[in-house]
Amino acid sequence: MHRLLRTFTALAALTALGLTAGCSSDSGSGPQEASAVRGPATDGTPAPGGAFWVDPDSAAARQVKQWQAQGRDRDAEVLKRISEQPVAVWPAGDDPAPDIKEATGGAAAGGRTAVLVAYNIPHRDCGQHSAGGAGSADYYRSWVNAFADAIGTSPAVVVLEPDAIPHIVDGCTPAEYHADRFSLLSEAIERLKRQPKVKVYLDAGNPGWISDARKLTGPLRKAGIERADGFSLNVSNFQDDETTKAYGKALSATVGGKHFVMDTSRNGKGPLAGDRQDAWCNPPGRGLGTPPTDRTGDPLLDAVLWIKRPGDSDGPCRGGPAAGQWWPDYALGLARNAKEA
C-alpha cells in the first residue's frame, strides 16, 4: 500500500474545515482512551474491558516464544507490548474463510470482537508495493461474499479496502476504473452489513495524504458511506492522535455525521520528520501508539485500533522484507519506542 503508507511530515495550514491532510498516517487517541485500556491476558482473551480479540498465535507471539527459548528474555518481554494487544487480521490468499473463522472463533470463545481488513479490490495499490487484488469485478464479488459468509453471526469490525478511495482522489487509480470501484465498494458494504453483528468502516486515508478532507466527501458518498457504520483513518501510517481525530471530525461533518475508527499501531512518535519522500516506508525510530480500545471518550470515535500489524514491513525499503512480511527487528524497535500511557 505505497500511497496508503506514505506520510508527509509537514502538514499544511488548517483548512476551512479546521484540519489538514495528505498521505497516510497513524492516528491515535488522547489521554482518556489510554487510561481506559486494560492489558489483555496471554491466552488470547483480553482482560475485562478489552473489546477485541488477541491472537495467541500471532507472529509477535511466536517471536516472543522463540526469543525466550534463545535466552533473549529482555527482548521477549518488550515484544509482549505487541503480542498481548489485539491486532487486525488481513485474510490472505484467494480464500479468506480460514483466517476469518480462526479469528471469529477465537473471539467468540472469549466474548470478544474480531477486527478484520478486507483488502482485495481490483487494481489494488496502483501496482506498487502491495499490488494485486482480485482479477475481476465478479471475482471480487465472490471473494467478498466468502468473506461475509465466514463471519456468519459473529461480532466483527471490518475495515474495508484501505487506500481504495484516497487513490481515486489523488489520481493514482486510473479514471477508467473509478466507476467499477465505487460500485464494488458499495456492494461490499451492503453484503457485509447483511451479517447481523458486523460493523463496516470504509477507508478514507489519513491527514497527511489528501490535504483537503472535503475532496473525499463525494467519493465516499459514491461508494455507499451512508450504508456503512463509518470510515477508517490512518491505516498503516504515523500521524498523531490529535491530528487524526480533528481530521476525522471534520470529514464526518461532510458525510452526515458518520463515526470513524483510527489506526494507532505505529504513531506513538508521530511521522518521520524531514523525509517527505520515504517517510511512509519503514521509517526508523517510530513507536507503538495508543493501545486498542472501544472506550474513546469521544462520541464520533468508535474505536482506536491497531489495524496495521506492528512489525509487518511496508516494503523492501530500509532493509525491510517484502510488504506485509514480519520483520522482528523493526517490531522490537516499535515496542521499545512505545508511547507512554
Catalytic residue among 163, 203, 229, 263: 163
The reply to whether 314 belongs to the active site is yes
Predicted confidence (pLDDT) at residue 37 exceeds the cutoff of 50: no
Query: In degrees, to the nearest 5, what angle opens at C-alpha 301 toward C-alphas 296 and 306?
Result: 75
Res. 255 pLDDT band, cuts 50 70 90:
very high
pTM: 0.86
Catalytic residue among 125, 263, 302, 312: 125
| Cβ pair 88, 303 in contact under 8 A | no
Q: What is the pLDDT of residue 127?
A: 58
What's phi and psi for 203, nearest 5 deg? -70, 140
Q: What is the pLDDT of residues 163-183, one digit of tens each?
A: 999 999 999 999 999 999 999
Res. 298 pLDDT band, cuts 50 70 90:
very high
Contacts of 17 (CB under 8 A, 6+ apart): 212, 213, 214, 250, 251, 253, 254
Q: What is the pLDDT of residues 92-134, one digit of tens each?
A: 889 999 999 999 999 999 999 999 999 999 998 775 666 678 9
% helix, strand, coil for the chain, step of 5: 35, 15, 50
Query: In degrees, to the nearest 5, what angle opens at C-alpha 163 toward C-alphas 132 and 266?
Result: 105
The reply to whether 55 belongs to the active site is no
Predicted confidence (pLDDT) at residue 35 exceeds the cutoff of 50: no
Q: Which residues pair with 206 in a beta bridge?
A: 22
Strand boundaries in 225-311, DSSP class E: 230-233, 259-263, 301-305
Report helix, strand or coil for 95: coil
